[in-house]
Amino acid sequence: QTMDGVDPNMVIGANTDVRSAEGMIATAGAIDVHVHFDSAGLCEEAIASGVTTMIGGGLGPVTVGITSSGTVNLGRMLQASEAWPINFGFLGKGSAYDVAPLLEQGRAGAIGLKI
């Protein structure tokens, strides 16, 4: 007998991996790789639409940038993201006269640099 909602012609072949998920919530997850973090409402919309990972930058409503430049700003964004059940990646500013600020942003938690 086929379970309700399952197509009786569904093929489970070599390209299918069956996972045990008893007691878990399994959802398909989307990754948004160009996010302007300018509103906390973005997180609510992301969750509602199945986004599990958001990558980008910004410093809130004062700018529409795509970077969270500087170690202080990266730290604040990382701290603010802790409240959400989403994976976050923040981009640092990639243009500098010297390599030191770029390395500092990486140590502060930037997953990449945006020019």
Q: Residue 39's CB: how many other CB atoms inside 10 A?
A: 12
Q: What is the pLDDT of residue 15?
A: 87
Q: Over 90: is that where the pLDDT of 86 sits?
A: yes
Q: How does pLDDT run across 2-57, given as a tens digit for each residue?
A: 778 888 888 888 988 888 888 887 777 899 999 988 887 899 999 999 899 999 98
Burial of 96 (0-12, 13-18, 19+ CB in 10 A): middle
- The pLDDT mean for the chain works out to 87
Domains delineated in the chain: 30-114 (3.20.20)
Q: Which phi and psi angles does 53 have, rounded to 5°?
A: -140, 130
Q: What is the pLDDT of residue 44?
A: 93
Give the CA distances from residue 51 to residues 55, 78, 91, 109, in Å, rounded to whole numbers and listed in that order: 11, 18, 18, 21
Residue 54 near residue 86 (C-beta atoms within 8 A)? yes
Q: Over 70: is that where the pLDDT of 61 sits?
A: no
